Structure 1
């Protein structure tokens, strides 16, 4: 059961909001005031908080946000609504106390923390942002901190949530809504967790999901254009600005030494007065006069392994359960984060990263000696480029024929349509464009747009719907070119088992399941 402050009443809510300069006025039965003085129920404990009118119970506080329709409040008084927090008043719909605020998302984050007893104060918080690698880095970091603390590290990721150090449950958002985040933090603390590793998306700052939260360690991995659309970020500058907010809200920063806009990010850290630990994938970060603090390099004795050094001292060789140079870079980040969180560099818990596998990330499925299929979440320019780079590094001497199966989302992240193609162009010989969360757009139209970005005259392109058929066709084409070594890259969905079509989730077999079925695995 969640631990709640005994004084969490409408009066206390007003005090918190006033302290943070978010309160506009209090409205009750058409009476407008700046306090709860003289209002019935102002000092009665609030029993629960929610942003869903369907979950209102006697004594509830309701946050009204987003595309809210006033008729959602019809009959709400009979169900016992005590108070609502909103950016406009609804006195004609309910007799509940209305607390009107400047920004309901900021208010929800602050009040959720209070309602659940400020669980963040009982955790060492690690926030990870970047365009690519957040999920893998989060899993690697959790593994090390879990090993170090005896299984007391929680996880919020775009794939899974873990509130007890061992059980994983599917997540719905990269960064949960603030109310849900603090509720789960409370559960994690009650379960004995000492650490929380969480992915922090640009949208989390855009819509104030982490407002008021300070991370003990903030990690900024990398940055490249992504999530640019009318409903996400209107410009790259806005996208970068939102991600940069992590720095001002962290006590120490872990930064990719080769990250674009490195100078700006270092200035942000200096402005915030926080120390910076830098990581890199090679012996010396490009453009820097001094080596990064944590450096990873390919193990010369093991092509699949790596050796990390911390402040010039080498650690024991490691080999990740997930292949790829970019995953080694993620491991370097995770090592730097773990050390910043208090783990000694030579502690054996660092080696726990070796066993980590992330669902839908670099999943390798073989079919004899002449065909290998990778299922991966790569869904933008940087991640697709890194994936193809890895194929060339590992298999280049075999002159592979590479096929890319990809679609992209409808209605948002429009820049991905060109970025995915650009990341593979000149190296992928066959593109199979298909469906991937088209939402209200025609997936064939999206595929045609992507097809138009293929400027390599030697590359084959085709559009195949539905997604299952596209995977089947790519593998069939690979078998038809058995005179060469073939690689099929099925990207974009990772471990997802649904497609968003016309605003609704439609069950999907899953990329890995389709591949295994076609290959008879």
Structure 2
């Protein structure tokens, strides 16, 4: 593709070189540059792509774009753009021939529930005559593709490549988790969304966004991207959802439990077997059953149904799809055993998510709730004492351990959490910094009828200790320990 066509629609400040240059590919990492490539010099948190232009040229790049003016005596084509991240998103969409225009793309944003909603919608699609693809926290998957996810929402170039591959394999609908980071970093500019979904908002990523208002503003961008007419689906029960609804057009579809929601849950039953709910919607009502547990999943079901109805998917497929999803990796994932223990792994890594998890389990009438949890290093520190407070208030026994300490001292993180747990006045907790030892201890003190919750990492199969990343999978560790005890 000619460079001129790759850059179509990209706001340029200056152009020095050959616009007919034949571009073979785009790279934002100099290591990935090859002969005939366009190199995008992006500013990162720690490094600036401008420092890697020389390496990109050595690897064969024939053109570069940056927000800086052309260096003296630069031997190749130099394009100065106003915003390199926007330029990467738009040029990537051009290079891959706008795959989002050739399928339905549904973007889902919010703090909690995005992953589960993509799984429910994927099941609904499988029960219909359509073919789903998913880009999300756990994996990027579709026909002929199942790649573990490095980021919830990949870089703009990678999203367009994945969408292109999905289209080539016959995907008709792509369900995409859209993170606040991705919106802030303009990764989804150039994607033509058909439906955009707001799930909820609670404290997370405040190390990055600083305030809840800025976090909301980042999420909100999904609803005002590009100019294509799209349908917004919003949780009308969420306070931030209510705020968003006030700013959107009249065509917004709402879901929830409160009166006035267009897709509304009524007469619901939540127990250890799952969820039963009657869903009222403009054209009628539907009785829905799901083996998923707890009120957060009730909201995930309502969100999924609102999207499915917006997409005019068959009612029978909606009902069967919701009923067929037995679980999501690392999302209140049950670890079966023969010891009478109810053991779950969950991704809850914020105070609000931890509170929701514990409240969900409390409604299942447990004998005791034994909680193993920690908090990630180099991330929002303000949530740590609040997580401790939730644990002290809502669990019967809490074990504070390490999560991903990264560059921080694990004991310092644990101390931050302990401040919150002490605030509740409980003595029912202990500190075991080694995560495996903490899990092993929780399983050893568990009795028949107890609920043992291992929270924080969910589907992750690694632990970051300093500058090392080791293999660590909570579910795998639990199964190993239970197997050694003859419990599996």
After TM superposition, the score normalised by the length of structure 1 is 0.86
Distance in structure 1 (CA, Å) of the matches to 2:300 and 2:420: 30
Aligned to 1:499, the other structure's residue is in SS state: strand
Aligned to 1:395, the other structure's residue is in SS state: coil
Q: Report the equivalent of 2:125.
A: 145
Q: Residues 218 and 247 of structure 1 are in contact (CA less than 8 Å); yes or no, is this contact kept in structure 2?
A: yes
| Residues 93 and 224 (structure 1), Cα distance of their counterparts in 2 relative to 1, 3 Å cut | farther
| Paired residues for 1:234-313 under 5 Å | 234-249=210-225, 251-270=230-249, 275-280=251-256, 282=257, 285=258, 288=259, 290-295=260-265, 297-299=267-269, 304-311=274-281, 313=284
1:155 to 126, 134, 142: 134
2:77 to 85, 97, 100: 97
2:62 is aligned with 1:82: yes
Aligned to 1:374, the other structure's residue is in SS state: strand
Aligned to 1:88, the other structure's residue is in SS state: coil
Distance in structure 1 (CA, Å) of the matches to 2:480 and 2:267: 37
2:441 is aligned with 1:486: no
2:358 is aligned with 1:394: no
Q: Report the equivalent of 2:403.
A: 436
Distance in structure 1 (CA, Å) of the matches to 2:4 and 2:271: 66
Q: Residues 299 and 317 of structure 1 are in contact (CA less than 8 Å); yes or no, is this contact kept in structure 2?
A: no
Q: Residues 63 and 77 of structure 2 are in contact (CA less than 8 Å); yes or no, is this contact kept in structure 1?
A: yes
2:419 to 448, 452, 476: 452
1:113 to 93, 99, 107: 93
Q: Residues 308 and 332 of structure 1 are in contact (CA less than 8 Å); yes or no, is this contact kept in structure 2?
A: no
1:207-229: per-residue Cα shift (whole Å, max 9, x none)? 11112334211111111121101
Q: Report the equivalent of 1:318.
A: 289
Number of residue equivalences = 475
For residue 192 of structure 1, report the CA deviation from its aligned partner. Answer: 1.0
Q: Residues 7 and 91 of structure 2 are in contact (CA less than 8 Å); yes or no, is this contact kept in structure 1?
A: no
Q: Residues 129 and 200 of structure 1 are in contact (CA less than 8 Å); yes or no, is this contact kept in structure 2?
A: yes
2:192 is aligned with 1:208: no
For residue 23 of structure 1, report the CA deviation from its aligned partner. Answer: 1.4
Q: Residues 228 and 234 of structure 1 are in contact (CA less than 8 Å); yes or no, is this contact kept in structure 2?
A: yes
Q: Report the equivalent of 1:23.
A: 12
Distance in structure 2 (CA, Å) of the matches to 1:300 and 1:224: 23
Distance in structure 1 (CA, Å) of the matches to 2:329 and 2:109: 19
Q: Report the equivalent of 2:439.
A: 471
Q: Residues 296 and 332 of structure 1 are in contact (CA less than 8 Å); yes or no, is this contact kept in structure 2?
A: no
Aligned to 1:148, the other structure's residue is in SS state: coil
| Residues 10 and 348 (structure 1), Cα distance of their counterparts in 2 relative to 1, 3 Å cut | closer
| Residues 43 and 317 (structure 1), Cα distance of their counterparts in 2 relative to 1, 3 Å cut | closer
Q: Residues 200 and 241 of structure 2 are in contact (CA less than 8 Å); yes or no, is this contact kept in structure 1?
A: no
Q: Residues 439 and 503 of structure 1 are in contact (CA less than 8 Å); yes or no, is this contact kept in structure 2?
A: yes
Distance in structure 2 (CA, Å) of the matches to 1:461 and 1:25: 62
| Residues 506 and 214 (structure 1), Cα distance of their counterparts in 2 relative to 1, 3 Å cut | same
Aligned to 1:84, the other structure's residue is in SS state: strand
Aligned to 1:453, the other structure's residue is in SS state: helix
2:4 to 6, 11, 28: 11
Q: Report the equivalent of 1:3.
A: none
Aligned to 1:435, the other structure's residue is in SS state: coil
Q: Residues 87 and 101 of structure 1 are in contact (CA less than 8 Å); yes or no, is this contact kept in structure 2?
A: yes
For residue 470 of structure 1, report the CA deviation from its aligned partner. Answer: 1.1
For residue 368 of structure 1, report the CA deviation from its aligned partner. Answer: 4.9
Aligned to 1:188, the other structure's residue is in SS state: helix
- Unpaired segments ≥5 residues, structure 1: 1-7, 28-38
| Residues 492 and 244 (structure 1), Cα distance of their counterparts in 2 relative to 1, 3 Å cut | same
Aligned to 1:408, the other structure's residue is in SS state: coil
| Residues 236 and 215 (structure 1), Cα distance of their counterparts in 2 relative to 1, 3 Å cut | same
Aligned to 1:472, the other structure's residue is in SS state: helix
1:456-499: per-residue Cα shift (whole Å, max 9, x none)? 22342222122111111222233xxx4x7422110011121111
For residue 278 of structure 1, report the CA deviation from its aligned partner. Answer: 1.5
Distance in structure 1 (CA, Å) of the matches to 2:88 and 2:296: 37
1:312-355: per-residue Cα shift (whole Å, max 9, x none)? 633244123x32221122011101111112214x2334412222
Q: After the TM superposition, which of the residue ranges 64-73 and 79-88 deviates more from structure 2?
A: 64-73
| Residues 78 and 300 (structure 1), Cα distance of their counterparts in 2 relative to 1, 3 Å cut | closer
1:212-255: per-residue Cα shift (whole Å, max 9, x none)? 334211111111121101xx111111101111112223711111
2:285 is aligned with 1:334: no
